[in-house]
């Protein structure tokens, strides 16, 4: 009987092959991290703009109802319980914009809108102006809800991102 002798070859990767694979994985990971960071920053900006637009649309809608009927009652959720509605007449809110801004702010406090940049729920600075312009903090995503007693405007502003554009909307509240 013949003896068959098998010569076994080493079945392993060389050090060079392993280094090449590790280098490729490192390059792909670096590209992925940079891309992911860009996607998350764009998403945060878009969420901040959506929060701002929601507030502008809701206040504009309430202003429209008041323009049609000055006896209309703006029903806002009452902070902090958020279970009851407070009816504030358009005339009363128009005569006292500071209280109007406070009542409008309650609605957004109860909706628990979150600033996407810092995770703070209800990151709204309300009543920050009187007859002058609303001051802007550099904190991106924070919404500033103010008023101007002279022009009878509700003023909404927001810094969309660090060093980015500032969105501003003035809504007439004179009835």
* Domain positions in the chain: 15-172
* Mean pLDDT (the chain, rounded): 83
For the stretch 131-173, pLDDT in tens is 544 555 668 888 888 888 888 888 888 888 777 778 889 998 8
How far is residue 98 from each of residues 35, 66, 73, 92, 134, measured CA to CA in Å? 44, 17, 17, 11, 13
Q: How far apart are CA 46 and CA 111, in angstroms?
A: 18
For the stretch 69-120, pLDDT in tens is 888 888 888 878 888 888 888 888 888 888 888 888 888 888 888 899 988 8
Confidence (pLDDT) at 21: 94
pTM of the model: 0.75
Q: How far apart are CA 134 and CA 162, in angstroms?
A: 18
For the stretch 28-81, pLDDT in tens is 988 888 878 778 888 998 999 999 999 999 999 999 998 898 888 888 888 788
Confidence (pLDDT) at 22: 94
Confidence (pLDDT) at 7: 60
Nearest partner of 113 among 55, 56, 165, 169, judged by Cα: 55
């Amino acid at each position: 009987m013949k003896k068959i002798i098998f010569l076994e070859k080493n079945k392993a990767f060389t050090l060079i092959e392993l280094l090449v694979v590790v280098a490729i994985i490192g390059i792909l990971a670096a590209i992925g991290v940079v891309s992911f960071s860009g996607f998350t920053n764009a998403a945060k900006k878009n969420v901040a703009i959506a929060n701002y637009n929601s507030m502008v649309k809701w206040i504009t809608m309430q202003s429209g109802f008041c323009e049609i009927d000055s006896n209309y009652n703006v029903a806002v959720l009452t902070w902090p319980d958020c279970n009851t509605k407070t009816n504030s007449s358009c005339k009363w809110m128009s005569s006292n914009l500071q209280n109007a801004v406070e009542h409008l702010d309650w609605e957004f406090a109860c909706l628990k809108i979150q600033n996407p940049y810092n995770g703070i729920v209800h990151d709204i600075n309300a009543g920050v102006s009187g007859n002058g312009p609303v001051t802007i903090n550099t904190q991106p995503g924070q919404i500033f809800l103010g008023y101007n007693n002279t022009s009878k405007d509700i003023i909404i502003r927001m810094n969309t991102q660090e060093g980015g554009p500032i969105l501003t909307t003035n809504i007439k509240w004179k009835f």
